[in-house]
Amino acid sequence: MQPIRTFNVSPQLPPQLEPLRKLAYNLHWDWNFETKELFRRLDRDLWDSTRHNPALMLGTISQDRLQEVAEDDGFLAHLERASNQLDNYLNERTWYRKHRGAAAGNNDGAPEKECFAYFCAEYGLVDSLPIYAGGLGVLAGDHLKSASDLGLPLVAVGLLYQEGYFAQYLNVDGWQQERYPSNDFYNMPLHLERNPDGSELRIAVDYPQRTVYARIWRVQVGTVPLYLLDTNIEPNNPYDHDITDELYGGDLDMRIHQEMMLGIGGVRALQALGYKPTVYHLNEGHSAFLILERIRKLIQEEGLSFNEAKQVAQSTQVFTTHTPVSAGFDLFPPDKAMYYVGHYAHIFGLSKEEFLALGREDTGNLESPFSMAALAIKTASFINGVSQLHGEVSRVMFQGLWKDLPIEEVPITAITNGVHARSVVHKSLQELYDRYLGPKWSDKGSTDPLWQRISTIPDEELWRNHERCRSELVMFVRERLAKSRRLRGASPAEVAESAELLDPSVLTIGFARRFATYKRANLFLYDIARIKQIIRANKDRQVQFVISGKAHPKDTPGKELIRQIIHTIREEGLSDRVVFIPDYDIHVARLMVAGCDVWLNTPRRPREASGTSGMKGAMNGLPNLSVLDGWWDEADYVRTGWAVGNGEIYEDKDYQDQVEANALYDLLEQELVPLFYSRDGEGIPRGWVAKMKAAIQLNCPYFNTSRMLRDYAVRGYFPTSDRYAIMTSDNYAPAKALAHWKRQLFEHWFDIKIEAVDIAASDELKVNQSVSVKTRINLAGLSPDDIQVELYQGAVNADGQIVNGIPVVMEYQGEDSSHCIYTADIIYNTSGLQGLSLRVLPKHKNLSSLYEPGLVLWA
């Protein structure tokens, strides 16, 4: 029965408990244990049953209980402490003001009205807000938390999914099943944005033959607002209701609908809310359509030409890719792209092929699909991968966009991911760090002497704390599996068996992540006889595994991998020592990274762009046991864990599995198990604890989002925001001038001729011998100020190519009968076969880099 009217009913709180509402609706409670304990104290069972959702708690708790705690002096004192902590937190975010104020020459603080807009398709913030699928979302959530910690003026945009990502359960055959519980937005920590008259604030996005509307919800993440768009409203039709129904659900048409709403709708939402971003940060390519909307606005509202508008957009955008394979990017057939967003071509004054070229890697191939990653890269001034190895992989993947540049110079850098320390380190361990390192440990960098104090933590105290965390994990696993078995109708005996699973004193290895086949979750089961020997051979030195993770609903091979693991566990009689926890989420992850002893990761290198679960384990004192991929490739994997293999990449996948499985077994048998069970008279594994301390000391200060956000700010946000200030000054005069300069550059570039290169040396040189080089260049109408001439020197490999070349800028010496003269002196400081080449690059003071135009002319 449809209602004729609806009401949003808010909890009725006694006046002295009113601060609970403020605490519940700011997600700062997720990384503040004082506030978490307050809500748990309010009603422990309700806290757990609501999936740790304080907003739902306040809406369902009995008025009698509220009245009871309103008269409890101890609870009121606790409430006051938590409320004061939130107020102090919101007022004391000073890193940005101190560092940006100084950088901008502004003693009073940061540049006025600076704003960084962050777009992502998913956000993993808390388990009671299930709008995330995995690592990308959790990374985005941690990005917002650390942006808040540092006081960055960041605002985030996403979609609010009615069903979110799925809840997982396994049927009796071990096959993954999906449930899609509907999110109740009115009982989640969300604020519905409204107009001054109280009506819902809505934005509109044009789709073929119709307009789709979205309302805007806000999640307050400390000082950072996250705005989420919701299309499940009237007057949208039923299909359009579903645009924000499921994360990564539906077909290709639904995907393009979602990405239009995220990108185009997101830009319009920020405008409706009064924001004027100085930087747009695209976290993956899902939001890349925002570029089209930004250019449209600049053309229609600011009177710029297409080239001028594109220049402003490019100068002020940051793009982060998390994908290590080209197949992972969203690609749309050309006709589909034109059908949905082709109307922008008319606004831009572009032909169909000119418009599609914006999103094509190979613009000469008219059958080439429209790539969201290519669109983002071509219109960004700062591009990064998420680990140093992933940066290398990305430069290879996208070298086609800079065909004439050596791979190492492709302008894609890397900012290694991190995790939010205060969110992932177990409460008891945080208290230990606070006591021995001081309360500022979560923000301190690798060079801070604070980390030397790790050695002052008594081994006994660290080890006993970890044993409690392991016991907590085992108890949770038993309860979760008993509940899961009851729900699928298991026998009473099977349910009762859950209480005997795992042993809280046994070496526990954890593996939890998305079940994509390249992650090889079953590699440890490669040789059943050998792994059974490791698990059970010595009753005093046993090993157990805790596994969790979801496969995408459409990933049949991933589902089959889960099923195979479940069947192997049953058939080999390993169910008491190898368990799979269903319905992996943030809560499960946090218990695992604190309660396991070792974190296992076995992807096929280099398919893991970064990976962050191992970082979380390291922060909790877990050594990692991992293939050298993603972040682990740049960590100190000798002192803080173990490396499976030496970074080899194999063509034969079966052979790779065999080699790396055997390497894994060798490490378990020869190093991990003996070290873990080597105890002194007090029962402490001193060598293992030393490994734990090294994991904390060396990994915690670097692989965290506090360091990561500082990197993004200093290397990406601040320079990009400065370019915004320059480009938009004087009614966009610098942007107009740069766009005009580029047009002139392209008209003349291909007529430039390097007429002669004179090298004053023979073919035989001595180390450190100076060589003079002179060149004569016909600039074809360009000015010497428009170009930079460089020598490119380096060792020559077996293929006759210069590798790891070093550019040397040549000096302009004047003109000689319409030719420009450039000279330079170089030396070679190593012997062997060395090479020299010469190149010309565009140069302009307002380019983000010499490579922005994508032009290079080699001798």
Per-residue pLDDT reduced to its tens digit, 666-679: 999 999 999 999 99
Per-residue pLDDT, 327: 73
DSSP three-state, residue 202: strand
Radius of gyration of the chain from its Cα atoms, rounded to whole angstroms: 29
**Could you count the other beta carbons within 10 Å of the beta carbon of residue 367?**
8
DSSP three-state, residue 68: helix
Q: How far apart are CA 233 and CA 240, in angstroms?
A: 9
What's the longest Cα–Cα distance across the chain? 96
Report strand pairing: 787-796 vs 802-809: antiparallel
Per-residue pLDDT, 488: 84
DSSP three-state, residue 65: helix
Q: How far apart are CA 432 and CA 413, in angstroms?
A: 37
Distances (CA, A) of 783 to 788, 815, 821: 10, 11, 12
Q: What is the pTM of this model?
A: 0.95
Extract the tokens encoding 296.
């449209």
Per-residue pLDDT, 7: 60
Under 8 Å between Cβ of 296 and 313: no
Under 8 Å between Cβ of 405 and 840: no
Q: How far apart are CA 836 and CA 278, in angstroms?
A: 42
Angle 325-330-336 (CA atoms, 0-180°, nearest 5)? 145
**Could you count the other beta carbons within 10 Å of the beta carbon of residue 204?**
13
Q: How far apart are CA 481 and CA 501, in angstroms?
A: 9
Tally of residues, the chain? 859
Per-residue pLDDT, 134: 87
Structural element, H or E, at residue 376: helix 372-378
Per-residue pLDDT, 329: 87
- Residues of the chain falling short of pLDDT 50: 103-109
**Residue 743 backbone zone (phi > 0: left; psi -120 to 50: alpha; other: beta):** alpha
**Each residue's pLDDT tens digit, 276-310:** 999 999 999 999 999 999 999 999 999 999 999 99
Respond yes or no on whether the N-terminal peptide bond of residue 235 is cis (omega within 30° of 0): yes
Residue whose entry in the numeric block shows the structure tokens 């198990």: 673
Angle between the N-to-C axes of helices 686-699 and 459-487, in degrees from 0 to 180, rounded to the nearest 10: 80
Residue 427 dihedral angles phi and psi, to the nearest 5°: -55, -50
The CB-based long-range contact list for 461-466 (8 Å cut-off, 24+ gap) reads 461/432, 462/432, 462/621, 462/689, 462/692, 462/693, 463/684, 463/685, 463/689, 465/428, 465/429, 465/432, 466/429, 466/597, 466/621, 466/692
Under 8 Å between Cβ of 400 and 362: yes
Respond yes or no on whether the N-terminal peptide bond of residue 606 is cis (omega within 30° of 0): yes
